[in-house]
Amino acid sequence: MFDGKSVFISGGTGSFGRAFIRTLLNRYQPKRVVVFSRDELKQYEMQQEFNAPCMRYFLGDVRDAERVQQAMRGIDFVVHAAALKQVPAAEYNPSECIRTNVNGAENIINAALANGVEKVVALSTDKASSPINLYGATKLLSDKLFIAANNITGGQQTRFAVVRYGNVVGSRGSVLPFFRKLINDGAVDLPITDERMTRFWITLDEGVEFVMKSFQRMHGGELFVPKIPSARIVDLASALAPELPHRLVGIRPGEKLHEMMISRDDSNHTFEFARHFVIAPSIVFTEQSDYALDGLGERGVPVSESFEYVSDTNTHYLSIDELRQLGQVWS
């Protein structure tokens, strides 16, 4: 799929970007891989590890339309991973988050169209489904922009799709490294926001694999959601430190008790496949695709009208033993 192709990754120095590029270079022989991000130190450090001749490091901001367009010249595939993603920071600095996550998304779309890119996959989050915080709301707007972009291609080949998933195990600022640090620092208890709280979990490698497959599966216009397990936050705390008591601290502003990936309102245009779901566009494109049959020849079936995909009613939960194993990988 990526052999001999030029690939652009916004946010290429982030957790997802690095893992995606590692797999890309291990598995394929791309012609050119463009890393696009702001911080020169992160790029410098990445260059020490990723220095294949195909690698190109572009300093730039997704808010800068001209620079994005320049960096995307001759590109075949785009992965849009750049984002501001800390919930409290987004609440405190809403316009900054809007500039990066919404205006940045628009710039990526326009640059892809101007440069005749073949396919674009943008990363989304479960927080974008029925959002209650600003970060989730900006990612929902970004999702909508990418899906609707399929309507403005003007007969060009460019196609856009979105991948939505939940918490990445061990990602920066997430609960697992937070608990791990407290335990290593000799905490006498672990803070729990709410005993009922559940989250969807995915590993970075699973996320990368799913995004790569989405390039093969997509017609354009899909929002792809992988089937992934849920876990209770109390179970995670018990798995990491069975001897430590829990201290209830209450749910934080902008947090949900349970996360959602597909709302009931999306059910009338959602298809279930063996390992994932596809939310088909609710708007009608000029060029209609059969979203029940994907580019890999996999078939999906419509979900029931009452269907929703929420972390507490998920049929697959991680056990304390499975969480302990995940915790060991991230120790």
Ligand X SMILES: NC(=O)c1ccc[n+]([C@@H]2O[C@H](COP(=O)([O-])OP(=O)(O)OC[C@H]3O[C@@H](n4cnc5c(N)ncnc54)[C@H](OP(=O)(O)O)[C@@H]3O)[C@@H](O)[C@H]2O)c1
Judge contact between 167 and 203, C-beta under 8 A.
Answer: no
Min dist CB 24 to ligand X, Å, is 15
Consecutive H or E run containing 276 = strand 276-279
d(CA 169, CA 175): 9
Q: Which range, of 35-43, 180-188, 231-239, 269-277, touches ligand X by CB under 6 A?
A: 35-43
Contacts of 279 (CB under 8 A, 6+ apart): 222, 223, 225, 262, 266, 269, 270
Q: Choose between 222 and 289: whose C-beta lies nearer to ligand X.
A: 222
Per-residue CA distances from 187 to 178, 240, 251 (Å) = 11, 12, 20
Q: Which of residues 150-179 bind ligand X (CB under 6 A)?
A: 165, 167-168, 171-172, 174
Site membership for ligand X, residue 261 (CB under 6 A): no
Q: Which residues are catalytic?
A: 127
24, 34, 71, 82: which one contacts ligand X (CB under 6 A)?
A: 82
Consecutive H or E run containing 309 = strand 309-310
61, 118, 209, 312: which one contacts ligand X (CB under 6 A)?
A: 61
Show the binding pattern over residues 287-316: x = contacts ligand X (CB under 6 A), - = does not. ------------------------------
Site membership for ligand X, residue 321 (CB under 6 A): no
Min dist CB 39 to ligand X, Å, is 3
Q: Choose between 233 and 289: whose C-beta lies nearer to ligand X.
A: 233
> Nearest Cα to 276, choosing from 231, 322, 326, 217?
217
Contacts of 312 (CB under 8 A, 6+ apart): 196, 198, 230, 257, 258
The residues of the shown chain that bind ligand X, judged by CB under 6 A, are 10-11, 13-17, 37-39, 42, 61-63, 81-85, 100, 104, 123, 125, 139, 165, 167-168, 171-172, 174
